[in-house]
Amino acid sequence: MTTAPSDDYQIIDDNQGNDENEFDSDSSNECPFNPDIASKLSAAFAKATGIEIEFAVQLLKDHEWNIDLALKATYEAKEHIKSIMATKQDWKDSKGEYFKILSWNTDTTDSDEVEINDLIEQRTETMIEILLREKPDIILLQQVGTIALTLIITSLSSLYDDESIQIDSPTNTNYVSIFTLKSNVEKKNVSTIQNSENWKMLKVEIEYKNSICMDLFNAFIDENTYSFCFEQINQNNPNHIVLFGISSQISDTCWDSKAINLNDLWEKTDQRPEATYTFDPELNSNITEKHGPQRYDRIFFRSPTSMNNQLKPVHMELEGIQRIKTSDILFPSKHWAIQGYFDIEN
Q: What is the pLDDT along the chain (346 residues), one digit of tens a residue?
A: 433 333 333 333 333 444 444 454 444 456 777 777 777 777 777 777 766 666 677 667 777 777 777 777 766 666 665 665 555 555 565 455 889 999 999 999 999 899 999 999 999 999 999 999 999 999 999 999 999 999 999 999 999 999 999 987 656 679 999 999 999 999 999 999 999 988 999 999 999 998 899 999 999 999 899 999 999 999 999 889 999 999 998 888 888 767 788 999 999 998 888 889 999 998 898 998 878 899 999 999 998 877 776 789 999 999 998 889 888 889 999 999 999 999 987 6
Q: How far apart are the first and last CA of the chain?
A: 49
The burial of 270, by beta-carbon neighbours within 10 Å (0-12 exposed, 13-18 middle, 19 or more buried), is given as exposed
pLDDT of residue 277: 93
Give ∠ CA 141-145-150 in degrees, rounded to 5.
85
SS (H, E, C) 219-247: EEECCCCHHHHHHHHHCCCCCCEEEEEEE
Show which of 70, 95, 120 is a domain's final residue.
95
Q: What is the DSSP letter of 8?
A: -
Answer yes or no: do 41 and 101 share one domain.
no
pLDDT of residue 28: 47
Has residue 14 been placed in a domain?
no
Answer yes or no: do 167 and 301 share one domain.
yes
pLDDT of residue 26: 45
The DSSP annotation for 48-113 comes to: HHT--HHHHHHHHHHTTT-HHHHHHHHHHHHHHHHHHHHHHHHHHHH----EEEEEEE------SS
Answer yes or no: do 86 and 205 share one domain.
no
The burial of 94, by beta-carbon neighbours within 10 Å (0-12 exposed, 13-18 middle, 19 or more buried), is given as exposed
Query: How many domains does the structure of the chain reveal?
Result: 2
pLDDT of residue 341: 93
Show which of 78, 95, 112 is a domain's final residue.
95
Answer yes or no: do 230 and 136 share one domain.
yes
Answer yes or no: do 325 and 299 share one domain.
yes
> What is this structure's pTM?
0.76
Answer yes or no: do 80 and 116 share one domain.
no
The burial of 236, by beta-carbon neighbours within 10 Å (0-12 exposed, 13-18 middle, 19 or more buried), is given as middle
How far apart CA 336 and CA 334 sit, in angstroms, is 7
Range of the domain at 235: 97-344
Has residue 11 been placed in a domain?
no
For the sheet containing 138-144, what is the strand order? 160-166, 175-181, 138-144, 99-105, 337-344, 311-319
**Closest by CA position to 100, among listed 128, 126, 133:** 133
pLDDT of residue 304: 85
Answer yes or no: do 42 and 171 share one domain.
no
pLDDT of residue 62: 72
Which residues are within 8 A (CB) of 35 and not within 5 positions of it... i.e. 6 or more apart? 17, 20, 23
Has residue 313 been placed in a domain?
yes
How far apart CA 142 and CA 105 sit, in angstroms, is 4
pLDDT of residue 264: 94
Cβ atoms 335, 283 nearer than 8 A: no
Q: What number of H helices and E strands is found in the chain?
A: 7, 12
The total of other beta-carbon atoms located within 10 Å of residue 229's CB is: 23
